[in-house]
Homo-oligomer: A and B are copies of this chain.
Amino acid sequence: MEAKAFPMNSGDGAYSYTKNSYYQRAASYAVKEMLEEAIAEKFDVTSLSSSSNTIRIADLGCSVGPNTFITMQNLIESMERKCHSQDRTNMPEFHLFFNDHASNDFNTLFSSLPPGRHYFAAGVPGSFHGRLFPKSSLHFVHSSYALHWLSKVPEDLLDKSSPAWNKGRIHCKNASEQVANAYANQFAKDMEVFLVARADEIAVGGMMVVIMPAHPEGDRPSQSMARVALDFIEQSFVDMVKVGSISEAELDSFNLPLYSPSLKEMTQLVQSNGCFSIESMELTDPLSKIVCPLNIRALVMHLRAALEGIFTKHFGSEIIDELFERTLDKFAELSSRFESCCGQQDTQLFLVLKRK
C-alpha cells in the first residue's frame, strides 16, 4: 500500500528539510507578488524614513529560517525599487528585527544570516502577545503563519463541568458550538492584545502584513486541507486510545492551540481596535501553484515538523512515530477525500493594515 499511495517517494533524500518545506515555500512564492504590490502601492518609504533615514522592520514569529531571510530580502528589494522609482539618491538603511519566543533557536538563526545582506540584523526574544519595541519605532511589521497559534488553550476546554469541555477531540473542528466559541474568544483576546501592542510600536503610516490560515465569511469549511489533516490526526489519536497507546484522559486533556478565523472575524477585530485601516484583505489558495497529486508523505513530514514539539510536550516523545504512521495511513486510505480539496481552497489570508 505504501508504494501505491506515495508514488513520488524517491528514498531518504525526499525527507530532507528542503523537501519538507516545499509547501511552505510554495505559499511564500504566492505571497511574494502580493507583498511587492502592497509596498509599491501603499508603503510610503520616503516619508517614513525622512527623520532618521532608517526603515525598521520586524518579522514576528520568524522561526529559524531560511524562509524569514527570503521574505525579508524580498521586502527590502521592493522598498529599494520604490526608492529608485521615486528618484531618491540616498537609500535608507534597513534595521531588521527577527522576533520569536525566547526558546526559539536564535543561535541557528544568527549563524545562518545571509552574508552580504543589505540590512542590520537583530534578534528579539519574546511573545508578540505583548510589547517588544519602543513606541512608534517600527515602520513595517510582517508576520507569517504565527498568529494562528493561540497564546494558550482556552481554559473551558479542560473543565469537565463546562459545556465547552472538548472530550475526545484535539481541536474545534467537528466540535460543539461551545468549543468553537471558546476558541474564537481566545483568538479575539489574543488579537486584541496583539493589535494594541503593535499600535504602540508602529509609527503612523507604517504598515503591517499578516499571513495566516483563515476561511471565508461565516463558513466553517468542511473540506479544507488543514481541516482534513487535523481530522486524520484526531482519528489517529482516537485509535491510539482504543489500542491503549495513550489513555483516554490524556487525549481529553489535550487541545491544539491553533485557530483560523473568518474574514468577518478579522475585520471586526481590526475595526474594534481602531488604530489600523484595512488596506487589503485577500484569501487565496496557498497551494495553487502545486501540481496534484500531492506528495502525501512529504505533507505528513511537514505536519510532523510543525506539530511534533507540542505533541511531545503533552504525550511524550515515545508516541510520535506511531501517531504520524497512523496519520499517514489515514491519508492513504482516504486520499480521495483529501485530494478533492487540492487546488480549490482559499485558506490563506493576506492582510495589509496601515497604522492610522
Chain A residues with CB under 8 Å of chain B are 51-54, 93-95, 97, 102-103, 105-107, 110-111, 113, 120-126, 131-137
Contacts and interface: CB of A to CB of B under 8 A. Distances in A.
B111 A102 contact: yes
Given A121-B124, A124-B121, A52 B136 contact: yes
A53 B132 CA distance: 16
B95 A103 contact: no
B106 A52 contact: no
Contacts of A126: 121
A102 B123 CA distance: 11
Pick the 5 closest A-B CB pairs, nearest first.
A110-B125, A122-B122, A54-B134, A93-B134, A123-B123
Contact of A134 (B51, B120, B133, B135): B120
Nearest to A107: B107
B125 A95 contact: no
Nearest to A95: B134
Contacts of A123: 106, 110, 122-125
A133 B113 contact: no
Given A95-B134, A135-B93, A122 B124 contact: yes
Contacts of A93: 134-135
Contacts of A105: 107
Best-surrounded residue of A54, A110, A133, A136 (most CB of chain B within 10 A): A110
- Copy total for this chain: 2
A211 to B, nearest CB: 23
A106 B107 contact: yes
Contacts of A111: 102-103, 125
Nearest to A93: B134
10 contacts: A52-B134, A53-B135, A54-B137, A102-B110, A102-B111, A102-B113, A110-B123, A121-B126, A123-B124, A123-B125
B54 A135 contact: yes
A131 B120 contact: yes
B106 A132 contact: no
A122 B93 CA distance: 18
A137 B133 CA distance: 15
A136 B110 CA distance: 24
A73 B111 CA distance: 28
A97 B134 CA distance: 13
A123 B97 CA distance: 9
B97 A122 contact: yes
Given A52-B136, A95-B134, A106-B123, 6 more contacts: A52-B134, A53-B135, A113-B125, A120-B133, A120-B134, A121-B124
A131 B106 CA distance: 20
Contacts of A131: 120
Contacts of A137: 52, 54, 95
B110 A106 contact: yes
B133 A95 contact: yes
Nearest to A105: B107
A106 B123 CA distance: 9
Nearest to A102: B110
A84 to B, nearest CB: 20
